[in-house]
């Protein structure tokens, strides 16, 4: 259930936040406030309109109107209190070890809401680019039957080609791989690599899918498209669940 107060008095907002803190609910408060921090260093953020987020695990984040990173934050496990002092609402966060204090001083509260979130899902980290290319290099049959890859990430005068190799008919091959839909730029990239070589190379563009304009240009250039089956490739990868917490993130 979501509970909220729109344009509450500071006293109403303080009571609301304290009630939410007692049951370890998520609290989001938007208003006009300043921030002071003392701990490993010290900082002061003057009064401005911004967002304070308090999570059920005791972590605190202060977000401004731009950017994705918090301007101030405290990790999980903090002790959080809210009170009225000298006509302002004070949200105080204390971290015991190491000693850190964060104080948000509200002059106005525009909206505050609280809810209990249930989220027990695992965060699964997909394969890195390095792992992905390793699988293809060891299993070139995912690209083309009979293909033998001889090098990867080979520097050229016009860039770095993903793979070089020899196909079943003995033709030298340049392979350019895209992990998402291949567009016209990918075809032009492959074309630059091949045109930079004095020896004739066959071109192969690999991707899960390709746009119609890209496929048309690829065929016009005389190159080949090979569809990558990401499901089959993923079966060769051992991906351990990665449980992301706020502490790890920072």
For residue 127, is pLDDT > 80? no
Q: Decide if pLDDT at 246 tops 70.
A: no
Residues 181 and 155: their CA atoms lie apart, in Å, by 24
**Domain covering 129-234 in this structure, CATH number:** 3.40.1350.10
Q: Of 187, 196, 184, 193, give the one whose Cα is nearest residue 222.
A: 187
Determine contact, residues 7/110, Cβ cutoff 8 Å: yes
- Cα distance between residue 11 and residue 241, in whole Å: 44
**Residue 128: per-residue pLDDT:** 73
Same fold: 2-115 with 129-234: no
pLDDT at 242 over 50: no
What was the pLDDT predicted at 48? 98
**pLDDT tier, 130 (very low <50, low <70, confident <90, very high otherwise):** confident
Contact in structure between 77 and 95 (CB atoms under 8 Å)? yes
Q: Is 198 exposed, middle or buried (0-12, 13-18, 19+ CB in 10 A)?
A: exposed
* pLDDT score for 235: 75
**Mean pLDDT calculated for residue range 191-215:** 95
| Claim: this prediction has a pTM higher than 0.85 | no
pLDDT at residue 122, rounded to an integer: 76
- The model's pLDDT over 146-178, given as tens digits with 9 standing for 90+, comes to 999 999 999 999 999 999 999 999 999 999 999
Predicted local distance difference test score (pLDDT) of residue 175: 97
Question: Using CA atoms, how far apart are residues 97 and 87, in angstroms rounded to an integer?
Answer: 31
**Interval 78-91 mean pLDDT:** 97
For 171, the 3-state DSSP assignment is coil
Domain residue ranges in the chain: 2-115, 129-234
Return the axis-axis angle of helices 184-195 and 212-221, rounded to nearest 10°. 20
Average pLDDT over all residues of the chain: 91
2-115: CATH, from 3.30.360.10, 3.40.50.2300, 3.40.630.180, 2.70.180.20 = 2.70.180.20
């Amino acid at each position: 259930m979501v509970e909220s107060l729109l344009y509450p008095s500071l006293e109403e907002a303080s009571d609301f936040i304290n009630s939410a803190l007692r049951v370890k609910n998520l609290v989001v408060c938007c208003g006009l406030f300043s921030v002071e921090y003392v701990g490993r260093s010290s900082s002061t953020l003057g009064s401005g309109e911004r967002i304070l987020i308090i999570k059920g695990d005791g972590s605190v984040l202060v977000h401004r109107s731009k950017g994705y990173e918090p301007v101030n934050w405290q990790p999980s496990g903090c002790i959080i209190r809210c009170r009225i002092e000298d006509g302002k609402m004070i949200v105080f966060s204390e971290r015991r070890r190491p000693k850190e204090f964060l104080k948000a001083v509200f002059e106005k509260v525009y909206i505050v809401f609280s809810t209990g979130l249930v989220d027990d899902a695992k965060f699964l980290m997909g394969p890195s680019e390095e792992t992905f290319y390793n699988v293809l290099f060891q299993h070139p049959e995912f690209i083309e039957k009979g293909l033998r890859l001889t090098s990867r990430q080979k520097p050229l005068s016009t860039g770095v080609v993903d793979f070089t190799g020899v196909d079943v008919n003995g033709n030298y091959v340049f392979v350019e791989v895209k992990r998402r839909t291949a567009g016209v730029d990918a075809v032009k990239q492959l074309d630059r690599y091949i045109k930079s070589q004095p020896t004739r190379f066959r071109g192969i563009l690999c991707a899960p899918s390709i746009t119609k304009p890209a496929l048309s240009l690829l065929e016009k250039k005389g190159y080949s498209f090979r569809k990558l089956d990401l499901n089959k490739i993923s079966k060769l990868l051992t991906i351990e669940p990665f449980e992301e917490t706020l502490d790890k993130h920072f």
